[in-house]
Structure 1
Amino acid sequence: MSVFIQQLPALLGVVIGALGSYVVVVRGDQARFRREQAARWEERKLAVYADYAHSVKKTVTVSFRVAAALGVDPHPDPLPLEEAKPLLGEATSRRDPAGEALIMLGSTVVVDRARDWVMTAMEMERFVRASTRDPKAWQSLLERQRAGREGYYTAVREDLGLPPGHSARWPSPAADAVPAQR
């Protein structure tokens, strides 16, 4: 029995070492799992944020083209309203589910900025659907849309922990510099 007692400290050391190793491995695995899970959620959020931006931008781009056909925007590819109606409907159909995903995964600030941007895009759509020919009102909508987009992208970058990005504001030709469309 005295041999067992002599070996007991070594045996206890092995048991304590094994338990310590187990705890370290388990904690490391848990930390790695949390990091990987957070990265997956960040990837999903980025995909949702980008998808929503594309869906809103589709409405904006078609609105630019119709406004060019109305003679109030310098877009180089004018599109008559009748041809644009299916594209506007498609953009709305795509934006609605993208908006639901955004509400589900987006931060409160991102969702609020998205709402600001999309409300202006919807006003732009109403403007062109009404065949309004008011260049000053259109320019006001353009500025609000640009500010809304910039606010959305800023909120997305902050939510994802990304550095500030480009404002995407660059000069464009004035609408009154475009020859009137028939």
Structure 2
Amino acid sequence: MSAFIQQLPALIGVVIGALGSYLAVVRSDRARARTEWAARWEERRLAMYSDYARAVKKSVTLAYRVASHLGNDPHPHPLSLAEAEPLLTEAALARDPSGEALLMLGSPQVVDKARAWVVVVMEMERFLRAGRREPEAWQRLLERQRTAREGYYAAVRADLELPPGHPARRPLPGVPQPAGGQR
């Protein structure tokens, strides 16, 4: 029994060491799992934010083309409202699923900025459906759309903790710019 008592401190040390090692591994695994989970959700949010932007931008591009047909915009590929109507409807319908995903997964700030952007896009569509030929009013709408889009992108970058992005306002070399600047 005395030999057992003499080795008891060593046995206790082994048990404490094994327990400590086990707890360290468990804690490390949990931290890694949390980091991986956060990274997966961040990737999903980025994809969802990108999908929404792509859907809205499709509507904007169609609006530029119709505005060009009406003489309001210098877009090089004009499209009549009659030809664009099914495409505009399709683009609006494509915004809905990505908008719902945005409502579920997006931060409140991003959702607010997305709403502001799409409201301006819908105003652009109403402007065109009314057949208005007012280049100055169209340019004001374009400026509001650009500002709303920049607000959306800034909110996305803030939510995902990304560095500030490019404002997309620099002129392209050798490309004549419309009176309102970049798209």
- Give the TM-score band, short-chain normalised: over 0.9
**In structure 1, C-alpha distance between the alignment counterparts of 2:38 and 2:92, rounded to whole Å:** 31
Question: Which residue matches 1:54?
Answer: 54
Question: Which residue matches 2:179?
Answer: 174
Equivalences for residues 1-182 of structure 1 within 5 A: 1-171=1-171, 172-174=177-179
SS at match of 2:53: helix
**In structure 2, C-alpha distance between the alignment counterparts of 1:28 and 1:70, rounded to whole Å:** 63
TM-score between the two structures when normalised by the length of structure 2: 0.94
1:170 deviates by: 3.4
**In structure 1, C-alpha distance between the alignment counterparts of 2:96 and 2:13, rounded to whole Å:** 63
Report % sequence identity: 70
**In structure 1, C-alpha distance between the alignment counterparts of 2:170 and 2:85, rounded to whole Å:** 28
Q: Give the AA of the match of 1:17.
A: G
Give runs of ≥4 in structure 1 deviating > 4 Å.
Answer: none
**Could you give the per-residue CA deviations for residues 25-64 of structure 1, whole angstroms, max 9, x where no partner exists?**
0000000000000000000000000000000001100000
Aligned-residue RMSD, C-alpha: 1.0
**8 Å Cα contact 1:74-1:174 kept in structure 2:** no
**In structure 2, C-alpha distance between the alignment counterparts of 1:149 and 1:162, rounded to whole Å:** 17
Q: Structure 2: which 5+ runs fail to align?
A: 172-176
**In structure 2, C-alpha distance between the alignment counterparts of 1:96 and 1:155, rounded to whole Å:** 20
Q: State the number of aligned residues.
A: 175
TM-score between the two structures when normalised by the length of structure 1: 0.94
**In structure 1, C-alpha distance between the alignment counterparts of 2:122 and 2:134, rounded to whole Å:** 17
Higher relative contact order at CA 8 Å, sep ≥6: structure 1 or structure 2?
1
